[in-house]
Amino acid sequence: MDKVVTVLRVSLGVLFIYASLDKLLQPVAFSEMIMGYRLVPVSLVTLAATVLPWLELLVGGCLIIGFLHRSAATWATGFGLVFLLAKISVILRGLDVSCGCFSVNGGSSITWSDIPANLVLFLVALVVLLKGPDKFALERTLVCQSTTASQ
């Protein structure tokens, strides 16, 4: 089971890093993407576009190496839930918005067919959070080493 959790944790981390790259390179286009969702107050759109890609990148990095595991996994679960609810909200309000999940340059509009993938992302993040750091996580290795050293 530990290996499965490791694979899920690392895959989730890679996904988060991949998702952050285009947003980091094109902050203005990402701002417009956030604006299209009509969920964030206009005066906070730029701030959100400034912080979110870096947070995704750091969360992804922490998940891959298994450092600050619970904090990163909590952020990942929160992101998963917020993205899921945001997409459902966009569909229910009939807005013509492209996802912007991995690329900020257009793409097809959000539909119900996008929801299962987001649901899976949320569930994977939740599993990683609930299972805690696996034996391959850096955090666990550090704890083991400090325990051994104190004995």
> What residues make contact with other proteins under the rule CB under 8 A?
24, 27-29, 31-32, 35-36, 38, 42-47, 50-55, 57-59, 62, 68-72, 74-75, 96, 132, 139, 143
Nearer to other proteins, 3 or 93 (CB): 93
**Are the C-beta atoms of 141 and 77 separated by less than 8 Å?**
no
Nearer to other proteins, 44 or 120 (CB): 44
What is the smallest separation between the CB atom of 134 and other proteins, expressed in angstroms? 14
The stretches of the chain forming alpha helices (DSSP H) are: 2-25, 27-37, 45-65, 69-92, 115-131, 138-150
Nearer to other proteins, 109 or 117 (CB): 109
What is the smallest separation between the CB atom of 39 and other proteins, expressed in angstroms? 9
What is the smallest separation between the CB atom of 19 and other proteins, expressed in angstroms? 14
What is the smallest separation between the CB atom of 122 and other proteins, expressed in angstroms? 17
122-146: b or e for each residue (b if 16 or more CB lie within 10 Å)? bebbbbbbebebbebbebbeeeeee
* Residue among 20, 18, 132, 35 at smallest CA distance from 74: 132
Residues 147, 148, 150, 151, CA torsion sign:
positive
Nearer to other proteins, 13 or 53 (CB): 53
